[in-house]
Structure formats: structure tokens, C-alpha cells
Structure 1
Amino acid sequence: MSKELIFAVEDEKNIQQLIKYNLEANGFSVITFDTGEELLEECKYNIPNLFLLDIMLPGIDGLEVCRQLRQNVVTQSIPVIILTAKNEEFDKVLGLELGADDYITKPFSVRELIARVKALFRRVHTSIENYSEIIRFENISIDCSRREVFKDDKLLDMPFKEFELLKLLVMNKGKVLSREILLEKVWGFDYYGETRTVDVHIRYLRQKIEDNDSNPFYIETIRGIGYRFNDKGVSGK
């Protein structure tokens, strides 16, 4: 069973160990870092489901790490929680302005940390599961409640997994989704297939919705990561 992966950067070893032990005890997978530079370097090879960033760090601080994560197309949609020992409102507001999703002020309780992390994951998952609009883009229409896709007003043959894959991509339009995330959300935690399964279904989808599947417009390949749905001209009605 796949676990949500969390990257946590904290230079105080005792707090770092506290975070890792308690998050793993609650079913998460955690990789810790001493500096922001180390975390950003690891993001070149591995992408988590959530970031925990301490503000006060040696080298670049947590706010600068957050800013760089939000400027990177691969990590810009990954949730971020800021950890800060400061009580000034300025730090909290600045963190949120830079793209953080939540913040925790130190000293914090373990229960609060776990509750904040679970709440943030719950918001992300609910936004995916509750998406039931009719979405239209160019000559394509997706009826999420009826599970039907039309192109030029013609109903397309869309098997269950292809529909779920298309729905997930469209719901996250403009965001990069890794093959692992697509596999997990569409095929489920207990699916042990290879990520090539995603590539095959993407090819099928492109053949159906793209005007030229050899030069796709809607479903973009992000080399070495996964796929992104082009949100230009897309609207929900």
C-alpha cells in the first residue's frame, strides 16, 4: 500500500526526529533534510505529496525554499506547511503570500502537527473526489456526473479508467501530475502495475480527444515526471 510522502526540512535534530517518528507512526513516509538546499536538490529526483518547511534554517531560509518551490512547475501545486518559532504576524502572512497552505508556530504539540497534516491532505483529496461539473473546452465536453465525454457532439467510447484519468487531469488543469500520483489515484493504492500503464492510457486518451495525437495540445508530457492538462481555453460550466 502506497504512503503519502512528506519532505521535512528542520535543522534542529531533536525536532526533526520528533516530526519523522510521529508522522511515520501515523502512516506517512518521511524524508528529512537539514537545509533548504538539500531539499531542493532532492526535488530534482523525487517529488513528495507535502512539504514541511522550517523558516529559520542555515543557508536559504524556509520562505525562500517556499518561493522556489512555487516557481518550479513540478512542485508548484504540492501543499506546503510552514514551521516557525516566531510570533510576528509578518512571517505568517509572508509565508501564505509566498504560497504556503498552512503554518504551525513552535513549540507545537504532536497532535496539532498530525491534525494539520491530515486536514491538508483531506482538503486535497476532497477537491478531487467531489469534482462533478460539466467541463467544456473547445469541441470537447465532459459530463462528470454521467461519466460521458463528447467530441463535436459525438459520444466517445471512454472506458472507466480512461474517464477517471481524463477527469483527474482536467480537474487539476495546469498542474503537473506524476505518473505515480496518476497511478495511485486512478488505479488505487493496491494496484501493483508499472507506471507504463499510465503512458498507455494517456496514448488512448490522446487518440480520442486530440486533433493530432502525435503533437498533443491538451495533454502535455512533462519529461521525466508525468503529465499536465493544458488549461488554456478550458472552462467549467
Structure 2
Amino acid sequence: MFNILLVEDDISLADWVCEYLSEQGFNVSHVARGDLVMDVIKRNSTDIVLLDVMLPGLNGIEVCRLIRQNKQSQATPIIMLTARADEFDEVIGLEAGADDYVIKPVRPRALLARINRQLSQSNKAESNLNSELVFGDLTINQEAKRVVYQDKEVELSTSLFTFLTYLAQHAGSVVDRDSVFKALKKREYDGQDRRFDVMLSTLRKLFNDDPQKPQKFKTIWGKGYLFVSDAWQEKPSLDNEE
């Protein structure tokens, strides 16, 4: 049985979400304040977090960042619940480490589909038998869901890890947005969803890839994304050359 942590201060909404998900076979815990989340996560096993954006005590974006900074929960899938449908919430939430978001009013079956998708992706990454991808100073251990770059571990959300792994598995080849959406979201690209553009930007920041002149992660205009396989070896210093 999967354990879900619902963080929502709207009690009526929280009650029916807890009831509905319990009927679907999940074990659901609920807290109504953002500043209580980390204590619950540290005490209990949590497989996925449903996190409202507007919360008393600590807002959802800050809670999301704290979850990602904690080693115990850094790979736990997070689905944000937001009453605002504008791009600002989407971009900020994804950059903070959220894996997906649902716009209120929440539809039960749609929420269940998002939860099952995240749990499926998480389990698939854990069970992948091709355990390591190595490119110069970068090592991606798919079985352990661990990324090491220049001898330092890089903490990634489940969605970022899955996206990075997918790009690395297709190293040297341009992957179009529609292929990425079909592989990772099980649907076609609608021409507007920018989540993977945001994730690519986040990966560039994490791996010190100049967004103006990227060498590791390239966006090929009109085609898609390119993971450059030979850009991960640190170049030798020229200081000692005569």
C-alpha cells in the first residue's frame, strides 16, 4: 500500500480527497500547515506528496524546496495543487522541484491518474536493470536513482532524474518534444506545455551549463533536445603548459 501525504488547508477539500484516495487503496495522511510537513516526512514513510501552494505557516513552494533538500525525501514525487492556472505558478513550482501540478477544482479521476503516473515512473526508475550511464565526469545510476558529477552527488527530483536519464539514454541524438511527452507523460505534446523546457533550464543550472552557449544540454530550434555525450569530461587546465 502506497503512503500519500496531503498538505491542504481547505478542510472540506482535504476530507473528500482523503476519503476518495483511501477508497482507491492508498494510505493517506493529512496536515493543514506547511511548517508541519518535514516533521511528518521524517517520522513516516511517504511515497508521494500532494502539496497545496497557498498554506499557512509556510507556503507550498518553500515546502517543496525543503523536501528536495532533505536526503530522505529528495526523490519523493510531489504534485502541487494550485488555484492559479497561470504560467508563473507552473514554472516556479517545477523549478522548486515539483514533478507535476493539478489545477483546482480538483477532479478525482484526473488526480488519481496523475498520482498513478508519478508512482509508475518512480517504480520504473527504481527497477531499471541498466544501472549506470557514464559520460566523462557524469555517472547516472538508474537503479539507485543517484547522479554524481565531478565526484559530487547531485540531488534531483524524480521528474528531473527521469528526464535527465531519458536524454542520456538518447545521447548524441535529438529527441523531439512529442517523443519526450509520449515517453515520460504518456501523451502527445500539445504545443504549449513548457515543463520540459523549464526542466532543461534547471538541469543547465545544476550542471553549470551556460544557458547562452550551452555545451551539455542543447535546444535544437524546431527539432528538440540534445544531450551532448562528449561534453562531460572536465578539460585539462592550460596553466601549466609552456
1:48 maps to 46
Q: Could you tell me how far apart the structure 2 residues matched to 1:85 and 1:69 are?
A: 21
Unmatched runs of 5 consecutive residues or more in structure 1? 137-165, 176-237
**1:73 CA displacement:** 1.4
Structure 2: which amino acid aligns with 1:55? V
CA distance in 1, matches of 2:82, 2:122: 23
Do the aligned partners of residues 167 and 103 (structure 1) sit closer, same or farther apart at CA in structure 2, a change above 3 Å counting? Answer: closer
How far 1:125 sits from its partner (Å)? 1.2
Deviation at 1:27, TM superposition (A): 1.1
The CA deviation at 1:71 is: 1.1
Counterpart amino acid of 2:80? I
What pairs up with 1:132-211 in 2 under 5 angstroms? Answer: 132-133=130-131, 168-169=143-144, 171-172=145-146
What TM-score do the two structures reach when normalised by structure 2?
Answer: 0.55
Report the CA distance between 1:62 and its aligned residue.
0.6
Deviation at 1:130, TM superposition (A): 3.1
Give yes or no for contact 1:47–1:75 (8 Å, CA) kept in 2.
no
What is the Cα deviation at residue 88 of structure 1?
1.8
Instruction: Give the 3 Å change call, closer, same or farther, for CA 134–32 of structure 1 in structure 2.
Output: closer
Distance in 1, Cα, partners of 2:93 & 2:40: 22
Q: Identity over the aligned pairs, expressed in percent?
A: 36
Q: Distance in 1 between matches of 2:98 and 2:4?
A: 15
Q: Is the 8 A contact 1:8 1:30 kept in 2?
A: yes
User: 1:27 and 1:122 mapped to 2: Cα distance?
Assistant: 15
Please state how far the C-alpha of 1:133 moved relative to its aligned partner: 4.9
Per the TM alignment, residue 69 of structure 1 is displaced from its structure 2 partner at its CA by: 0.8
17, 20, 23: which is aligned to 2:21? 23
- Residue aligned with 1:47, SS: coil
**Residue 108 and residue 172 in structure 1: after superposition, are their counterparts in 2 closer, same or farther (change >3 A)?**
same
- Kindly tell me: are residues 167 and 88 of structure 1, through their superposed partners in 2, closer, same or farther at Cα, counting changes over 3 Å? closer
Helix, strand or coil for the counterpart of 1:93? helix
- Quote the offset at 1:46 in angstroms: 1.6
- Secondary structure, counterpart of 1:31 in structure 2: strand
1:34 counterpart residue number: 32
2:74 to 48, 55, 76: 76
- C-alpha root-mean-square deviation of aligned residues, in Å? 2.6
Deviations 1:173-192 (A, max 9, x none): 668xxxxxxxxxxxxxxxxx
Match of 1:113 in 2: 111
Instruction: Give the structure 1 partner of residue 218 of structure 2.
Output: none
Partner residue in 1 for 2:93: 95
Aligned to 1:104: 102
Structure 2: 5+ residue stretches without partners:
135-140, 148-152, 156-242
Q: Which amino acid aligns with 1:88?
A: D
Deviation for aligned residue 1:101: 0.3
Deviation at 1:21, TM superposition (A): 0.9
Query: SS state of the match for residue 63, structure 1?
Result: helix
After TM superposition, the runs of 4+ consecutive aligned structure 1 residues lying more than 2 A away are: 128-136, 166-169, 171-175
Deviation at 1:19, TM superposition (A): 1.2
